[in-house]
Structures are given as structure tokens and as C-alpha cells.
A and B are shown apart, each in its own frame.
Chain A
Amino acid sequence: MENLQLPPKPEKSLFKKIRAIFITLLVIAMYVWTFVGIDIDWGRAIERSISNFHRVVPKLFSPDWAAAGDVGLAMLETVFIAFAGSLMAAVLAVPLSFLAAQNMMGGKVVSTIGKWILSAIRAFPDLILAILFVVAVGPNAFAGVLAIAIGSTGMLGKMFSEIIESIDMDVVQAMEANGANKIQILFYGVIPQITPEFLSYAIYRFEVDIRASSILGIVGAGGIGTMIVFASSNRNWNEMGMILLAIIIVVTVIDFASARIRRKIV
């Protein structure tokens, strides 16, 4: 073993060395520029957080139990928004994902268009969508549902199309070879292969949407976010503590449950 002699590593060319140094310097310059550019008054920031610390943080840890009922209802609404939104997204994403999957569309042209549609949808942040839908359908939970639905469709559509592209096409060929038509192949060869993964990603997306929908209320799209805005503008930190507690509990429970369900499915 001690005589092990690996062949020498290939020498890096001068160009590669210079490029590495250049990139390092560029990254450092960018960091310096951003910190100088945003003009943080470190002294003031630290001073303020020290003076506010004892007024805010202890109150967050003594939640206002009297508000538990209202907070609970708002949290429930948040969960409903996330559920309705991700369910809508899971349904909408299916046709789009088939459109974007190269092995289902026979050629690159259609699937590229499908992928473009999905990218375009993904380009909108949830909050921007929420603002648009609050304007369109008014400041209520329905705006939140639509924002979550559209926002999730982009991501789920992309995931679903990747799942479709990774199926075993030999099975599809075997069915072609025994005279099945396209629709029969879809139901016998494709759908059994994709269903568990589709469900798994839809549930995972629901998990993400719980978090996303808890802030939608900030722009008036329903759910617990509305209470966050009121509590912070009234400086009611005890209520804020209650809200945070509710979010933490619900998110943890749903993460845990979804992980267990998904392990069962796949």
C-alpha cells in the first residue's frame, strides 16, 4: 500500500489559473460592494435591537392565550387556503406536465412550448400573484387560494413532467407491440408508473403551501397573515407570540404527517 503511486494530476493551464483568481476577486468585490452599497448604520441597528430586545422578545414567549380562539380560526383558514390551492394546482399541473414531457409529445417543439408555459407561471412570486388576485376578486381567502393554485401549478407541472420523462419507456413499447392504442397505453403503461410520485409531490407541495399561505394575508388575501399585520402595527407582541406558536405547531404537524404519508406511497 505504501508504494501506491497515483499518476500525477494534469497540470492546470495558465488560463484556468488566471480565471480562478479572477472569479475569486470578482466574488469578493461583489460582497464588498453590496455591504457598502446598502449603507447599514451598524451602530444604530445594534443600539435599537438592544433597546427593543427586552420589550419585544420576552412578550413573544408569553403568548396571549385569550387570542387563541381567533388565531386558531385564522390558522384553520390558512390551512384551507393551502389545501384548496394545492389541490387545484395538482389538477391543473397534470395536463400541463404531459404537454411539457418530451416522451409524451413525440417531439421537442410541443414540449418546449409546454416548458415555456410552466417557466412563465413559475416566474411570479406567490405574493405578487396574491396582490393581483386581491385586486381581481377582492381581499378575501379566495384570492389566496388562486394565488397558491397558480404559484404551485408552475412548480408541480415541472416536477410532474420530469417524473413522466423518467418512466420506463420499454413498458410503453411492449404495449405498442401488442396492439394497444395511445389512450390504452396511457392508462395501462403510463399512469400506474407516475401516480405514486405525483401524489408524493402534491403532498409535499401542500406542505410548502402551508408556509406560503400564512404570509398571503399580509397583502389581504386571507388567512393568518392578516392577523400578523394587525398585531405588528398595534405592537401587540403577546398576540404575535400566539400567532407564531400556532404557525410553528401546524407546520410541524403537517411536515411530520406528510413525510409519513409520502413514505407509505412511494
Chain B
Amino acid sequence: MIEFKDVGLVYPNGTEGLKNINVKINEGEFVVIVGLSGAGKSTFIRSINRLVTPTSGSLLVDGEDILNYHSGNLRKLRTKVGMIFQNYNLVKRSNVFKNVLAGRLGHTGTLRSILNLYSKEDKSLAYESLNRVNIAEKLYNRADELSGGQQQRVSIARVLTQKPKYILADEPVASLDPPTSHQVMTYLKKINKEDKITTIVNLHFIDMAMEYADRIIGMRAGEVVFDGPASEVTEKTFEEIYGRSIREDDLRGGADES
């Protein structure tokens, strides 16, 4: 369980990234955070694995306040919180298998990982993860030979190999075309259901948020302005979250093609 208690974050330049956030995310939920760019979605998500550090309040992950964590327990936290990025962040010159095995780094000793001495279980886990996102045939291809959607699937496989308890996805489909976006979201949803991994996804497309989310959290100017089950959400809600009327580019579309 993840619990934000009065969390605030002020960046060194004075910008308020988060203001007085109080949110509780339960086990197994699929939460989508929506909001315009600059609303604090990324800051919110990156606080959970401490890529950014909130400056006030407390943030509990599994009952422990992570805000005072340092290198040792910070790494431990990060091994159970996997992350997926907008730009995939794969090592382009390494092959797919090595990229996916990198998901095991947090669980593997330094010397073993440097010498590439992964256990059989780790290797079969990596291969199985690639199979789950249907990209196992690209095992020995270099990451930069794959298309964007394929690279994002490899990065999902990397997170799966990590065996996390939570998955954070920061705008995972913003660089993809509509059919590929739906494919990636479908895999994330499937993993959430099958493995019971709590998943938090940042999106700015409202149709995708409504289609995939169990629960939607709306953010504006660093504050949570909406929090409720996806079934209660209408276009009106989004207009309130965004503070303006809904436009064409707030929709991803393409749901039928996938």
C-alpha cells in the first residue's frame, strides 16, 4: 500500500511540484493519473521511488516512511518498485536479453552481474517475461533495431523481470501511435490483473484513462483535484480537472483498431 500524507514538494528554483497531497493507493489497483503537462503527474509518480524527494509530509510504502531513506534502503525500495518511461530508456547498443536481465540488477550481487553470471532462474524469468509481451523472437536483436512499441514492450519485460510489487509508468504511450498505445496499455492491464501488481500510470489522453483505469486521480497545479473510480468519471470531470473544455488532442483514439 502506498500512502501520501500531506506530501509537498518545492523544487530548488521555487516551483511547487506537489501541494498537500493526501492519497492512499491500495494493493492491486490500476490507477491512472491525469492532468495537463506541468500538473505534477511526473513529480507524483517519481516521488514513490524517490527519483525526486518531497520536501514535506510523509510518504508510506508498505507502512514505512520512505522520505528519509538513504542509499541502502533506497535501493531496496527501488527493487520492489519498477518503472516504465516515456522514452523506454533501454541501452540501445545492448541486445534485448541483456536489457531485460538488467531488471535483475537490484537482486543480483555486484560481481555476479558484472561477470554476467546470472542464475538459470533469472535467465528463464527474463525469457518468460519477453514471452509474456510477445517479443521473445527479438531476444538477440540490438535494442535500437526495434520500433518504439517493441522497445516499450521490452521495457515492460525488464520491469517484469524485476518482479516488483508496484509498477510506475510515466507517460508510457506518449511517443507511440494509437494502435501501439492500446497494445502497451493492454499488456500493463493484463500484468496488473494476472500478477496483482499495483500499477500507477501517468496519461494525458482521457479516453485511454477511462478505458483502462480502475481509479482515476486528476491533478492540476500540483494538487489532487479529483480522485474516484473510473466508472464515475465523465467528460465533465475531465473539463474540471483540466480547467478548460476537452479538445481533439486530449484523445488518443484508435481503440477499435487494436
Mask, B145-156, CB within 8 Å of A = 1, is 000000000010
Of residues B83, B106, B155, which shows the largest number of chain A Cβ atoms within 10 Å of its Cβ? B106
Partner-binding segment picked from B9-17, B55-63, B84-92: B84-92
Contact of B91 among A171, A176, A178, A196 (CB under 8 A): A171
Q: A175: which B residues are within 8 A, CB to CB?
A: 102, 105
Task: Give 27 A-B contacts (CB < 8 Å), ordered by A residue.
Answer: A170-B87, A171-B89, A174-B89, A174-B155, A175-B105, A176-B51, A176-B78, A177-B51, A177-B78, A178-B79, A178-B82, A178-B102, A178-B159, A179-B75, A179-B77, A179-B79, A179-B106, A180-B102, A181-B105, A183-B110, A183-B114, A184-B105, A188-B94, A189-B102, A193-B93, A195-B93, A196-B93
* Nearest chain B residue, comparing its CB with the CB of A185: B105
Question: What's the nearest-Cβ distance from chain B to residue A173, in Å?
Answer: 7
- A189→B91 contact, CB < 8 A: yes
* Extra A-B contacts (10), CB below 8 Å, given A179-B106, A181-B75, A183-B110: A171-B90, A173-B85, A175-B105, A178-B78, A178-B102, A180-B102, A187-B113, A188-B113, A189-B91, A192-B93
- A168–B94 alpha-carbon span in the complex (Å): 13
- B105→A179 contact, CB < 8 A: yes
Q: B193: which A residues are within 8 A, CB to CB?
A: none
B40, CB-defined interface residue at 8 Å: no
> Given A177-B83, A196-B93, are A187 and B162 also a contact pair (CB < 8 Å)?
no
Mask, B205-232, CB within 8 Å of A = 1, is 0000000000000000000000000000
B interface residue count range (under 10 / 10 to 19 / 20 to 34 / 35 or more): 20 to 34
Question: What's the nearest-Cβ distance from chain A to residue B251, in Å?
Answer: 28
- B91→A180 contact, CB < 8 A: no
Q: A168: which B residues are within 8 A, CB to CB?
A: 89, 92
- A178→B83 contact, CB < 8 A: yes
- A181–B73 alpha-carbon span in the complex (Å): 12
Q: B93: which A residues are within 8 A, CB to CB?
A: 192-193, 195-196
Contact of A170 among B75, B89, B103 (CB under 8 A): B89
B158, CB-defined interface residue at 8 Å: yes
Of residues A170, A174, A176, A188, which shows the largest number of chain B Cβ atoms within 10 Å of its Cβ? A174
- A178→B158 contact, CB < 8 A: yes
- A175–B106 alpha-carbon span in the complex (Å): 9
* Nearest chain A residue, comparing its CB with the CB of B170: A177
- A184→B114 contact, CB < 8 A: yes
- A70–B89 alpha-carbon span in the complex (Å): 56
- B105→A192 contact, CB < 8 A: no
B129, CB-defined interface residue at 8 Å: no
- A196–B94 alpha-carbon span in the complex (Å): 12
Question: What's the nearest-Cβ distance from chain B to residue A238, in Å?
Answer: 52
A interface residue count range (under 10 / 10 to 19 / 20 to 34 / 35 or more): 20 to 34
* Nearest chain B residue, comparing its CB with the CB of A174: B89
- A76–B113 alpha-carbon span in the complex (Å): 42
Q: B77: which A residues are within 8 A, CB to CB?
A: 179
- A90–B65 alpha-carbon span in the complex (Å): 47
Q: B105: which A residues are within 8 A, CB to CB?
A: 175, 178-181, 184, 188
> Given A177-B78, A180-B106, A184-B113, are A192 and B83 also a contact pair (CB < 8 Å)?
no
- A185–B105 alpha-carbon span in the complex (Å): 9
> Given A187-B113, A192-B94, are A173 and B106 also a contact pair (CB < 8 Å)?
no
* Nearest chain A residue, comparing its CB with the CB of B111: A183
* Nearest chain A residue, comparing its CB with the CB of B99: A188
Q: A173: which B residues are within 8 A, CB to CB?
A: 51, 85, 89
Q: B83: which A residues are within 8 A, CB to CB?
A: 174, 177-178
- A188→B91 contact, CB < 8 A: yes
> Given A174-B83, A192-B94, A193-B93, are A184 and B78 also a contact pair (CB < 8 Å)?
no
Question: What's the nearest-Cβ distance from chain A to residue B13, in Å?
Answer: 18
- B78→A174 contact, CB < 8 A: no
B190, CB-defined interface residue at 8 Å: no
- A11–B53 alpha-carbon span in the complex (Å): 50
B198, CB-defined interface residue at 8 Å: no
- A189–B92 alpha-carbon span in the complex (Å): 10
